[in-house]
Amino acid sequence: KREFDVQSIRADFPILSDKVNGQDLVYLDNGATSQKPQMVIDAIDDYYQHTNSNVHRGAHALSDKATQLFEEAREKVQHFINASCREEIIWTRGTTEAINLVAQTWGRENITQGDEVIVSTLEHHSNIVPWQILCQSVGAILKPINVKANGELDLAHYKTLLSEKTKLVAIGHISNALGVINPVKEIIDLAHSLGAKVLVDGAQAAPHLMIDVRELDCDFYAFSGHKMFAPTGIGVLYGKQEILESMPPWHGGGEMIEKVSFDGTTFNKLPYKFEAGTPNIEGSIALGAAIDYLEQFDRRELAQYEHELIEYATEKAKTIPEMRIVGSDCNKTSVLSFVLEGFHSADVGMILDQQGIAVRTGHHCAMPLMDALGLNGTIRASFSFYNTKAEVDRLFAGLEKAKTFLM
């Protein structure tokens, strides 16, 4: 394994040596999207220079090469999340599309009038709205698990919501707004004990945790490439093979069919049944390259380093009396989500931006969570293993400046 050295890692990410607003970039918006290492950028470049062709056509050598790289990437994803077989890996545009796929296929087939779907209050909108749309159209009921004031899910409340009527629990592995890690294994086991299926939104987990879908025993797992050092426009839906087999297709078109006639059409086998149309070939290959990049390292070392960064930032927070961290005493990843009492988050974000410091402010696509916590938004600094303590120092110096300026 490659030794962990933050400076050599930073050298892998070209954008990190750029200047923004005349200052050295401090990129602390990794929760929104991660930066890309040269290895991933090269994979895209190389694909268009030496491979570009359509896949699964078997027409010529280039097409065979594209197909081979595309399918190898699928196998990398399979191993990355420890799925049982490649048929369980469906390419999507991202987490959002993966969740909508499940809602519109498995959901429409298995959820009817009076059934219940459980989500949590801290979900990203993309793990709420697809279920609202489904429930409204079939007459089912959507029930949110309460969140405690510290940002943890209220498991006692979850147990009261679960019943024979529960058909599905859709739960985030890690909250994007707070970084809180949810006890998904416990949530899954409880749901299964009542016969409900579970979808895990792993958008924020894939870049930070080692994911093992077989150990979790989740029925579906969704994540996006762009948050784990790959490009936008590519993501993954994992589903247990027997469940995917039982589901009707979603989009119709090329690739997803076996035989088409006006008397009736038969569908392709997994995973192609859910991959209508020409896929994002370079995106899949580049996601494979991002996995290769990560797997050079002992990933526990990356996580340990991120943990040190967040501990350091949390300690520094004590020097700013106005700073209130949301979710500080929870089991969480490297996210510092906070309010500065007396200051508007958006104003603070703007002044940080002028200093080349990128954070996200606002509701983080989790409006129900903000409502539940009585906040109209937070400032979120989300760290990756390429960030440094010196950058944490820049953030805090930037916050002091913002306070002086906005006072």
Interacting residue ranges for ligand PMP, rule: CB under 6 A: 94-96, 124, 126-127, 172, 176, 201, 203-204, 224, 226, 365
Complex with ligand PMP: residue 130 or 398, whichever CB lies closer = 130
Complex with ligand PMP: residue 120 or 268, whichever CB lies closer = 120
Residue 86 is given by DSSP the state: G
Task: Kindly state the tokens that stand for 346.
Answer: 């958006």
- 263 Cβ partners below 8 Å, 6+ apart? none
330 is catalytic: no
- Tell the smallest beta-carbon distance from residue 131 to ligand PMP (Å): 13
Using a 10 angstrom Cβ sphere, with 0-12 exposed, 13-18 middle and 19 or more buried, the burial of residue 19 is exposed
Token pair 């993954």 is found at 236
Collapsing DSSP to helix, strand or coil, 289 comes out as: helix
Least Cα distance to 365 among 161, 177, 135, 91 occurs for: 177
Angle between helical axes of 129-138 and 95-102 (0-180°, round to 10): 20
- Tell the smallest beta-carbon distance from residue 29 to ligand PMP (Å): 11
C-beta atoms surrounding 84 within 10 Å: 12
- Tell the smallest beta-carbon distance from residue 130 to ligand PMP (Å): 11
- Tell the smallest beta-carbon distance from residue 364 to ligand PMP (Å): 8
Complex with ligand PMP: residue 168 or 399, whichever CB lies closer = 168
Whether 158 and 121 have beta carbons less than 8 Å apart is answered as no
- 265 Cβ partners below 8 Å, 6+ apart? 252, 257, 258, 259
DSSP alpha helices (H): ranges in 213-366? 213-216, 241-246, 281-295, 299-317, 345-354
- Tell the smallest beta-carbon distance from residue 403 to ligand PMP (Å): 28
Complex with ligand PMP: residue 73 or 399, whichever CB lies closer = 73
Q: Is the dihedral of CA 12, 16, 17, 18 positive or negative?
A: positive
Give me the catalytic one of 135, 218, 330, 365: 365
| The pairing of beta strand 197-201 with beta strand 141-145 | unpaired
- Tell the smallest beta-carbon distance from residue 379 to ligand PMP (Å): 16
- Tell the smallest beta-carbon distance from residue 227 to ligand PMP (Å): 7
Token pair 């006890």 is found at 183
Complex with ligand PMP: residue 268 or 378, whichever CB lies closer = 378
Complex with ligand PMP: residue 121 or 204, whichever CB lies closer = 204
Cis peptide before 271 (omega within 30 of 0): yes
Complex with ligand PMP: residue 96 or 355, whichever CB lies closer = 96
Least Cα distance to 212 among 204, 227, 198, 202 occurs for: 202
Whether 381 and 5 have beta carbons less than 8 Å apart is answered as no
Whether 117 and 198 have beta carbons less than 8 Å apart is answered as no
Catalytic residues: 365
